[in-house]
Each structure stands twice: as structure tokens, then as C-alpha cells.
Amino acid sequence: MSEIDLIQIATPGFFAAMGLEKVALDRQAAAGNDTAIGFEKRDSIASLVMGTASLYMPLALNALLAPVGPGKGKYRKVLVGTAVGAAALTTVADALARRDDDSKLTRFAKRIRPSSGVAAVAAGVVTGSTTWAARTSAKRLWNAGGSKRDLGAGIAATAGALVAWDFIYYWNHRIQHESRWLWAIHVVHHSSERYNLTTALRQPVADVFGMFVPYGLMAWLGFRPRVIENARAINLIYQFWIHTEAIDRLGKAEEILNTPSHHRVHHGAQQEYLDKNYGGILITWDRLFGTFQREGERVRYGLTKNINTFNPVRIATHEYADIIRDVAKASTWKERLGYVFAHPGWGKKQRGEGKEQPLTLAS
């Protein structure tokens, strides 16, 4: 059973849970507890659209990228050539643009540098991400030796896969908050200023462009690819119910599991809540690696600088647009690479605008 199959099976439960959440929040409000933000129609519709897109857009992007993928991609050399050629042209343009004169050559270099710089970075990122995905896939690492250590598909293997997936998920979630390119993928999930079960469905659509700690390592250790796929689906389904203000704290479970309280912190825009509580199912990883924060002050959701839109296309692409603008304005490779791969707040610091940190996101 594939991840999409499991999600489709769970979908009626998702909508039933949303209805129950609405009833619970209405009752809390009627009893005088009006602290929950609740639902907003346009926001919820945007989240549902993004959730649907997150299931099918990766399939479309994989098909689109197949011609430039490593191995059989017939345009692979064109992609690599574009990356190398644009990088060389940009490097020359940088040198010419620094000259202290107003010659036609200098002016020409300044004109072409923005577009050549963007082309070099874009082609380079696509080259890197497609190569990384191909080299670290579960199927490839399974065939490369993981099958010799086959752990089977029993209860022990399934439980082990869930823990292993959750551990790798913690680190991938963390680096998505610490590298702007990966934040551009993940920011979709943090873009809502509300926090309810529809927010859980506001998932990234461009994972194919990411370079993550490979879950394929689990296949190399002996977990079957299908077991890994199911672990991913279970992890994602688990994280659905923690996106709610209808549930307060859960006693001793708070010490081990990721709960609504812990994940509300993760979605908080306040300084003390930024980049905290990355765990998927277990909060243990945050406790071990110093990123745990309990819920205290009432959480303000969204981004440190909100985008104020319900347009799914804008939600999915706004950070990429900002990256392109920054790269186009850059005059050195240090700046270009910093705008793409450094912490999301690096660019504002470079521009003297102060450090802007992202409101955490992740599943």
C-alpha cells in the first residue's frame, strides 16, 4: 500500500476530525474560553488545496524533471552545461562589473549578471537535487546492499522503521528551518496565521528540489522500501491531530510524544518559540539535541513577516521569488550562495535590515 493510498484511506477521518474540532472550539467559546483562533474559510480552503497539491505535484515535478535527471535524462548534459556556462559567465561579469569605468563592456556585464547569476544558481540547484535524489533513493540503496540485511516486514521491523524515520525526520525538519533553500520548501506549512486541523494539510509541494538527510539510509540498514514508505505515511498521519487548539496538555505523554501543545510552539512566531520542537512523533529528539521548548505565552501563529494571502500559488512560491530577487541583486558568489543556502535570516542581515528568523514550520 502506497503513501497516497494510506492518505486516501485516512481522508474521511481527517474531515470528520475537522468537524469535531469545530464543534469543540464552538463549545469552548460558548463556555467563555475564546482564546482559540479557530477557522477562517479562505484560509482553510487554501490549506485544503495545498494538501491536495502536496500529494500530486511531486509526481508531476518528477515527470517534468525526468528528461534532465541523471542516467537516462536526454537533456542532462544541457542542464549541467547551463549550470557551468552560466556560472562561468557570471564570474567574468562580476570581474568586469567591478571595474571603475563606464565602458560599454562594464555596463553590459552589469546588465547580464543578474540573469546569468539566477540561471547558474537555478540550474545548479536542479542538478544537485536530482543527483542527490537518484543516488540516495531507498530502492537504489536497498539494491546496493540493504537487501542482504533484510529486516522483514514484521512488528519489530515496522516499529524500528517508525523510530528511524522519526529520527531522520527530526534532522531534516531542523535543517529546513536553518537553510533558506529548504525553508522555501517548508515555509508553505508555516504560512497560515491560524492553527487548526486544516493547517496540518498545508504541506510542501516542492520536496523534489530538496537535498535532505536521505531516508534511503534506512533501506541500506535493511528496512524494506515499502516498510519505509509506510513509516512515512504513519508519521505524516500522526502529525495531523497535533495541529489543534482544541486539545490542551496531555499529562505525562508530553514528556515523550509530540503533542498539540508542543507543536503549537513550533508554529509560534515569537522569539522564544522560533526553531523549536522539530520532532514528528517523538519529542525526545528535541530534548536530546537542545531544541525543546514548552508552551508558555499564548502562541502567535504565522511567519515573522506574514505574506497576507490565501492564494495557493503565492503561498507555494513567495520565498522562491524572494530568493530570485536577492540572487539577481548579488554581486559576488558568496552573496548568491548565502542568499540560497544560509539561514533564512542571513539575507536581511547582509542588507542591514536586522536578522529575520522564520516562524517554525515543518510537518
pLDDT digits (tens, 9 = 90+) for 210-261: 999 999 999 999 999 999 999 999 999 999 999 999 999 999 999 999 999 9
Angle of helix 76-97 relative to helix 333-341, nearest 10 degrees? 130
Name 282's bridge partners.
257
pLDDT of res. 360: 38
Contacts of 176 by beta carbon, 8 Å cutoff, 6+ apart: 182, 183, 185, 186, 210, 361, 362
Give the whole-angstrom CA distance, residue 213 versus residue 225: 16
Given a cut of 80, whether residue 150 has pLDDT beyond it is: yes
Residue 315 has pLDDT above 50, yes or no: yes
Q: How far apart are CA 17 and CA 25, in angstroms?
A: 12
Class of residue 270 by CB neighbours under 10 A (exposed 0-12, middle 13-18, buried 19+): middle
Q: Mind listing the pLDDT tens digit for each residue in 350-362?
A: 666 543 444 433 3
Closest Cα partner for 197 from 272, 134, 264?
Answer: 264
Domain ranges of the chain: 3-67+148-350, 69-135
Task: Look at residue 301 and give its three-state secondary structure.
Answer: strand
**Tens digits of per-residue pLDDT, 121-142?**
999 999 999 999 999 999 999 9
Closest residue by Cα to residue 220 from 129, 135, 140: 140
Residue range 49-77, pLDDT digits in tens = 999 999 899 999 999 999 999 988 999 99
Task: Give CA–CA dist 297/273, Å, rounded.
Answer: 9
